[in-house]
Amino acid sequence: MIGGVAHNMMGLAVHPRRFDFVLPDAPDLPFDERAELVPYEAVRASLLAITQHYLDLMAIVGATGRGRIFHIEAPPPYADEARMLMDVPWNYFTGMQREVSPRYLRYKLWRLHSDIVRQACARMGITFIERPIEAVDVDGFLRDDYYLDTMHVNEGYGALVLRQMQEVG
């Protein structure tokens, strides 16, 4: 797995100019009423720009590898902002608001990120392995059982992914 963090760069902590956007393929997802709308195309371009580094790296790996290459989708976001708030190492976030972005902004950014990477994988002939469905709740968020911290999942999630790998391998 290469990358998988670009969506967190844009939306883990609340931006000083609080923003949200509308996903064209899921326009009815909740919108943060306190946020400024940023056009979808702009959010996508911005996210693509910070993902590009990882995509370039993936292309290099793809060009040098001999066997099949798989990309494991980044884990979905965790919904509970209050729990996440306790886990964020705020000492790293100097000068930033100590607030975790609303779950649906993080969810939309994660979906957009997955969409960008999935398309890149298709172009490069890389198999994109989606998140294990058992780890996701009915709304698409990471289940409690698999949460480790604000940006990482636990060993249980890893076990599910290993099982996926065995199945596709």
Partner 1 sequence: MKHPYADAPPYRRWSRAVAAVPPGDVDPVVSLPFRISTSDRIVTAGSCFAQHIARHLQQNGFAFLVTEPAHPLVPADMVEAMNYGIYSARYGNIYTARQLLQLLRRAYGRFTPRDDVWEKDGRYFDPFRPSIQSGGFSSLREYRLDREQHFAAVRRAFEEMDVFVFTLGLTECWVSRDDGAAYPVCPGTVAGEFDEAHHAFVNFSVEDVVADMTVFFAELKEVNPQVKTVLTVSPVPLAATAEDRHVLVSTTYSKSVLRVAADMLARQPNIFYFPSYEIVTGAFSRGDYFADDLRSIREDGVEHVMRLFFRHATDRTDKPVAAEAVADPFLNDMRKVVDAICDEEKLDQD
Taking CB under 8 A as the criterion, the residue among 1, 30, 42, 98 binding partner 1 is 42
CB of 17 or CB of 66, closer to partner 1: 17
Amino acid found at 46: S
Cα–Cα distance, 105 to 132 (Å, whole number): 21
Please tell me whether residue 56 binds partner 1 under the rule CB under 8 A.
no
Cα–Cα distance, 69 to 169 (Å, whole number): 10
**Helices 103-124 and 40-64, interaxial angle, to 10°?**
40
78 binds partner 1 (CB under 8 A): no
Binding residue for partner 1, selected from 64, 67, 82, 92, defined by CB under 8 A: 92
**28 in contact with partner 1 (CB under 8 A):** yes
Nearest distance, CB of residue 157 and partner 1, angstroms = 14
CA gap 163, 10 in Å, rounded: 31
Contact call for residue 9 and partner 1 (CB under 8 A) = yes
Residue at 109: amino acid letter: L
CB of 112 vs partner 1, minimal distance in Å: 12
Chosen residue from 2, 59, 96, 124 binding partner 1 by CB under 8 A: 96
Give the other-Cβ count within 10 Å of 50's Cβ. 15
Rounded Cα distance, 87 and 154, in Å: 14
Q: Which of 99, 115, 111, 114 is nearest to 35 (CA)?
A: 99
Q: Which is nearer to partner 1, 115 or 124 (CB)?
A: 115
What's the closest the beta carbon of residue 67 comes to partner 1, in angstroms?
A: 25
The closest alpha carbon to 20, from 105, 115, 98, belongs to 105
41 binds partner 1 (CB under 8 A): yes
Binding residues for partner 1 (CB under 8 A): 5, 8-10, 12-13, 15-17, 19, 21-24, 27-28, 31, 36-43, 45-46, 49-50, 89, 92-96, 151-152
